[in-house]
Structure 1
C-alpha cells in the first residue's frame, strides 16, 4: 500500500484528503441548511459559528489536497476517452469551482462587515476591511447562497459515473478512490 500516488493508482494521502474534503463539503452544506432553518437567533448564530469554523478547517484540508495533488503523479486514466470522460472532467472542474467560490465568498460575507472570522474560539482571522462594505457584503452573500445549488446535481452525476464504472464497465475506477494501489 502506497502513501504516494503512482501511475497505477492513488496513494493513501490523496484518498484520505479526497474523502475528508467530500465529507466536509456535505457537512458544510448541511450546516448552512441548519442555519437557514434555525428557529431563533441563538440557534442561527450557533449554526453559523459551526459552519464558519468547519469551513476554515476544510480550507486547510483542501489546500493540502491541492498541494498534494500538484506534487504527485496523476494515475493513468482507465478506459477510453470521449464524451463521458469530458463530462466527468467537467463535473470535477465545476465541483472545484463551486468550492473555490464558497471559500472566497464565505469569509467575504463576514469580513465585509468589518468582523473577524472566528474559528471554534481557538483563533480569529482579522478582517482586511476597517469599515463595513455593504455592496461587497450583499454580493458575497448572494453568491455564497447560490453556488451550493450546484452541489446535489454535481454529486448525483458523480455518483452515477461511479456506479457506471462499477456496475457496467467494471474497470476498477471506484476501487482506486477507496484504497491505495500496490506497486509503481
Structure 2
C-alpha cells in the first residue's frame, strides 16, 4: 500500500473515531452505544438476630443429636477447625492417638462413662441465653447430669456463613474424685 494511501486510511479512521465520539456518526459506522451501568457492589446482608439465634440453637442441638446417634462424621461437621485441633491435641496429651475428629470422638466414646455424661448433658440441655457479637456467639445453657444441674457455655464462630462450634464447657456437675 502506498504511503499516501496508508496516511489517508489512518486519517479516515481517526476522523471516524473523533466524529463517533462527538455524536455525529459517519455514514456506515454503528452508532455509539452508552456504556453499561457498573454492576452493583456486593453487599453483605445485615445481621438478622432472630435468624442467628435460631441457627446457633440448631447447631447446638444437632451436634448433640449426632453424638447421641454416634454419627461422629455429622458431629465433627459442626466443629470449627480449631475445635477439632484442640480435641486431637487434648487426646494426644492423654496418650490417645487420633488423626481425625471422627477417630477422636470414637476414642472419647470408647469410655462408657464419657459417653453417658455427654449424652445426658446434650439430651437434657436447656438454652438460657444466646449472645451474638459479629461473627462470634456464646450460648449459655444448663443441663442435668446424674441428677444434678450444672451450667455450660458453648462458643460458636461464623465460618463461611455457617455457625460452627469453637469451644464448649461441659454442664457436668463437678464431683471431686471424678475429675469432671
User: TM bucket by the smaller chain?
Assistant: under 0.3
TM-score norm. by structure 2 comes to 0.26
Q: Which has the higher contact order (CA 8 A, sep 6+)?
A: 1
Higher strand share: 2
Structure number with bigger Rg = 2
TM-score norm. by structure 1 comes to 0.25
